[in-house]
A and B are shown apart, each in its own frame.
Chain A
Amino acid sequence: MKRTVFQELRHYLDVTAQVIRMAVLTVFEYPSNIAGWLISNPLQFIMGFAIIKFVVESFGEINGWNYGQLAVLYGISVISHALSMIFFVQGWFMGYFVIEGEFDRYLTRPLGVLYQFFFTNINIFGITDLIPGILVFVYGCMKCGLQITWFFVIQVIVMLIGATLIRGGIYILLGSTSFHTRSAVDFGQYTQEIMDKTTMYPISMYPEGMQFILTYLIPIGWVSFYPVSGLLGIENGVCNGFVVSFITLAVGVLVMLIAGAYFTAGLKKYESAGN
């Protein structure tokens, strides 16, 4: 029996809905645990943001970005981080899945392996990052006195999808190296630290060589710096205007496609655990 593309897609959506329902239920199984993360994660971001506020108050601005604009940048950075945590955090642990032969289970099921790997492990805890992100973003929009139009909302949604795909794609790319190295190195912490430093502050403060790398080679600049400067009309020297959020989406899709191809190539080399 051959299913049409439409039926196939509906099947995937069906499974996704079930999986999300299960993920939510497991969270409420351990209420004390989520209470801990509900304090820990927002605390981290609220304090990080408070520091930006204090520093900007002492120094005026960072590379031409004032306080409200930095808040918008920080907000987009944290929201896209949270979304990538919800859907793609598994990429950080791919090495363990390779070493332990966990992919066997996925290979035997009639669904895409990459799809199963990410979506059967949805991390609802990421919501604890999402809330402070949205708060800071809304606060920043108010500080900048932005007009909230339908077009503005569409731009923000498009750039967030793009930014999440870029982050997710990078996690998959890093995780997929495990297929070749056969080692379970957890890149999560380092990726996180680099991403924090390059998406929460304007990358224009880094030297030009580093900016070039972050724009064209490892496109982290597109996660928050370019789309937000486009949104707020801050000159960034590469591209401006409403078109930037759509370029962000394009970059995200491109990174994801490359990551998917690299993952599939890696999976061919996968030999399960043991010998």
Chain B
Amino acid sequence: MKKYLYIIKTQIIKSMTYEFNVYGNIVMQTIIMITSSYFWKALYRNQNSAAGVNAEDMLTYIIMSSVLSVLLITNVERRIEQSVGKGTVATDMMKPVNLFGVYFAEDIGSILALVFQNMLPILLIGSLLIKVPVMKDSGDLPLFLLSVLLSFLINWLIAALFGMIAFTAVNISALIQVKKHLIRLLSGSIIPIWFFPESVSKVLSALPFIYIYQLPLSIYIGRGSRAEHLAQLQIQFVWLLILAGVFVAVQRQVTRKVMVQGG
């Protein structure tokens, strides 16, 4: 455990040195927040509420979506691609730490740095320029935090699983983009799926993506009852277990493959 804590610490220090990337993401999220806020304002011009959500709640939703997106930045898929592409993966695996544990610790380190470098500035900018995103019912806070934690883990596992494809395809830069768009559009990060037609939203509810953005954000803006939230949290947890299971199985598979090839 101590080894991984060191990795987290090193990663935090590393993240502190690349300043431009940090400002870059703030600029990016600000653009997204501001333009989407006008987009929703234009849509809500003629009506007070749509799909049970009013304009104010929708603005809170998009600000919190930008804030949450900072926690959901992963680098594991690129790290796997690099390590496979350069051929260092065999030697990396011989080190006395779990390779994926290292990647996980690195991502945790980056995110801890980003909470201060990115998340708080974005929250501040959103509050100043759009509105203060107040939580609907502060009694839901524990539920919200729990669902954010689960959403972080689900998101990381999906990223890691995509990264594993590099073991067979080597170059996965196009696939990483596919994954980015899939998550962006199917998770409700830009537009919650309750605006989608019945059939589409049913299909999406059966996939793990909406548990990354939409569930925590729905809890935050208080859409749906507490009982509904609890039920969805359970499904979220089941998805986490399923993905973790797949991850462990795939990890075993690729490790064996590398061991065979690497001798």
Residues of A within 8 A of B (CB): 32-33, 36-37, 39-41, 43-44, 47-48, 51, 54-55, 57-60, 62-63, 185, 189-190, 193-194, 197-198, 201, 205-207
Contacts and interface: CB of A to CB of B under 8 A. Distances in A.
Contact of B178 (A43, A62, A194): A43
Interface residues of B, number: 37
A47 B42 contact: no
12 contacts: A32-B171, A39-B174, A41-B177, A54-B195, A54-B200, A55-B43, A63-B45, A193-B32, A194-B31, A194-B35, A205-B42, A206-B38
A32 B38 contact: no
Given A40-B178, A51-B185, A189-B28, A59 B169 contact: no
A47 B47 contact: no
A256 to B, nearest CB: 25
Given A32-B169, A189-B28, A190-B28, A47 B43 contact: no
Interface of B: 20, 24, 27-28, 31-32, 35-36, 38-39, 41-47, 50-51, 169, 171-175, 177-178, 181-182, 185-186, 190-191, 195-197, 200
Contacts of B36: 197
Given A43-B178, A58-B51, A59-B50, A193 B31 contact: yes
B131 to A, nearest CB: 15
A198 to B, nearest CB: 8
Nearest to A57: B197
Given A54-B200, A185-B20, 15 more contacts: A33-B171, A36-B178, A43-B178, A44-B181, A51-B185, A54-B197, A55-B191, A57-B197, A58-B195, A59-B43, A63-B42, A193-B28, A198-B35, A205-B38, A205-B41
B174 A40 contact: yes
A242 to B, nearest CB: 27
A185 B20 CA distance: 9
Nearest to A34: B174
A45 B190 CA distance: 14
A236 to B, nearest CB: 15
B24 A190 contact: yes
Given A32-B169, A205-B42, A47 B174 contact: no
A32 B200 CA distance: 31
A130 B230 CA distance: 45
Given A40-B177, A190-B31, A54 B38 contact: no
